[in-house]
Structure 1
Amino acid sequence: MQTILITGTSSGYGLEMARHFLDRGWKVIATMRHPDTRLLPSSPNLRILPLDVTNEDSIAAAVAGAGPIDVLVNNAGIGVVGAFEVTPMANIRKVFDTNTFGVMAMCQAVIPQMRERRSGVVVNVTSSVTLAPMPLAAAYTASKQAIEGFTGSLAQELAHFGVGVRLVEPGYAPTTRFAQNTDLRIEDLIPPAYADFAAPIFEAFSQPTLTTKETDVAEAVWAAVHDMSGRLQFPAGADAVALFQGCHG
């Protein structure tokens, strides 16, 4: 039985990933800042552990408590939407602490055991904004673009040891709590000068023609974990797939 550790499983993509792998007989280590045993079905193959990816002690405790990890999925993430010029630097740093440095810290904590066993897979979840940057999400886009470059380099670095590294790039999901944990409201980050520019963008978000379902992302992670071709990028959702094909032909 293989073991997968997933960060950010309290809602959305991470929660669906945990269900997906549990249903297929995997041992799942579901991690979240504030563990809630009500979120997932009771199973001898499930452990729910506290984890704050911005805290080194929390990371060390979760990885030690998990035991041998065959697959690491770095899914935890937060966002901020609004005009960049009025976005507080403190909040930008908070986004990077989770989306970028949190991913890197988790990789450093888990890679040694995979390298020693010469097996394992790391999946980093980014976003379709890395395929087509969108306005009013500059800080979020930057934090995810950093992980794209990081993952591409890490994949080459770890291939020598038989460890796979993959990217899953979800598209837009209306149900995603995009700005959770940032202590900001979108309306506070749209100054009057940006109102006319922002209105049609938010209108388009409210009525997307192509959307990404949570199951799309879970299935993309499953495919990434089992892929043996050395492929790096796995877009998830119809909109992300369309953007990926537009970029790569």
Structure 2
Amino acid sequence: MKTVLITGCSSGYGLETARHFHAHGWHVVATMRVPREDVLPRSDRLRVLPLDVTRAESIAAALDAAGPLDALVNNAGIGVVGAFEATPLAHVRAVFETNTFGVMAMTQAVIPHFRARRSGVVVNVTSSVTLAPMPLAAAYTASKQAIEGFTASLAHELGHFDVRVKLVEPGYAPTTRFAHNCGVRVEDLIPEAYAAFAAPIFAGYAKPALVTTEADVAEAVWQAANDRSGRLRFPAGADAVALAEVRA
């Protein structure tokens, strides 16, 4: 029976992905900064552990408690929405610490174990902004684009040891509140000079033509984790699939 560790499981994609893997018979280590036992079913195949991907000691403790893994899903992420001109660099750095360096730190920590066993898979969850960058999300887009390049390069590097590395690219999910995780209000990052530009963009977000569900992402992660081909990218959700086809 295989074991997966998933980051960012308190809500959204991570929570649904944990449920999905558990429903398919895997042992699941669901991690989150502040553990919540109530959001997941009680099971001897499911454990909830504290994990802050920006802290080395937290990563080490979680991996030690988790034991041997067959898969790592780097799902934890935060975002910031607003005009880049008005976005404090402290918030930009916070986004990169979680979305980019946190993913790299988690991946680096599991590589020796996967390499020694010549087995394992790392699934990095990015975003459809890597397929079609959207305005008012420059810092977030940059943090996710960095992981796209990182993952593509690492797939070659670790493929030599039979370790697989995959990308899941979710589309737009109106229920996701990632932009609230930086402790700053969106309206504070829209200066008057950008108001007219921003208004129709936010109106489009409120009524999207296509959306991605949490189940879409969980299924894409599941497919990526079990894929044995050389495929790298797995768009998740109708809008992400459409964007991927346009880019191709």
TM-score bracket relative to the smaller structure: over 0.9
> Which amino acid letter does the alignment assign opposite residue 220 of structure 1?
A
> Which amino acid letter does the alignment assign opposite residue 5 of structure 1?
L
- 2:174 is aligned to 174
Compute the displacement of 1:180 (Å). Answer: 2.9
Could you tell me how far apart the structure 2 residues matched to 1:38 and 1:140 are? 30
Could you tell me how far apart the structure 2 residues matched to 1:235 and 1:54 are? 26
Q: Percent identity?
A: 73
- 1:198 is aligned to 198
- 1:78 is aligned to 78
- 1:232 is aligned to 232
The unaligned stretches of length 5 or more in structure 1 are: none
- Which 4+ stretches in 1 moved above 3 angstroms? none
SS in 2 for 1:103: helix
- 2:65 is aligned to 65
SS in 1 for 2:234: strand
Could you tell me how far apart the structure 2 residues matched to 1:219 and 1:181 are? 25
Q: CA RMSD in A?
A: 0.5
Matched length: 248
Compute the displacement of 1:179 (Å). Answer: 1.4
> Which amino acid letter does the alignment assign opposite residue 138 of structure 2?
A
SS in 2 for 1:179: helix
- 1:131 is aligned to 131
> Which amino acid letter does the alignment assign opposite residue 89 of structure 1?
L
SS in 1 for 2:9: coil
> Which amino acid letter does the alignment assign opposite residue 3 of structure 1?
T
- 1:17 is aligned to 17
> Which amino acid letter does the alignment assign opposite residue 113 of structure 2?
Q
Compute the displacement of 1:178 (Å). Answer: 2.0
Could you tell me how far apart the structure 1 residues matched to 2:179 and 2:69 are? 30
Compute the displacement of 1:227 (Å). Answer: 1.0
The unaligned stretches of length 5 or more in structure 2 are: none
Compute the displacement of 1:75 (Å). Answer: 0.1
Could you tell me how far apart the structure 2 residues matched to 1:11 and 1:180 are? 13
Could you tell me how far apart the structure 1 residues matched to 2:34 and 2:180 are? 14
Structure 1, residues 20-69: CA drift from partner, whole Å, max 9, x if none?
A: 00011100000000001000000000010000000000000001110001
Could you tell me how far apart the structure 2 residues matched to 1:12 and 1:113 are? 29
> Which amino acid letter does the alignment assign opposite residue 208 of structure 1?
P
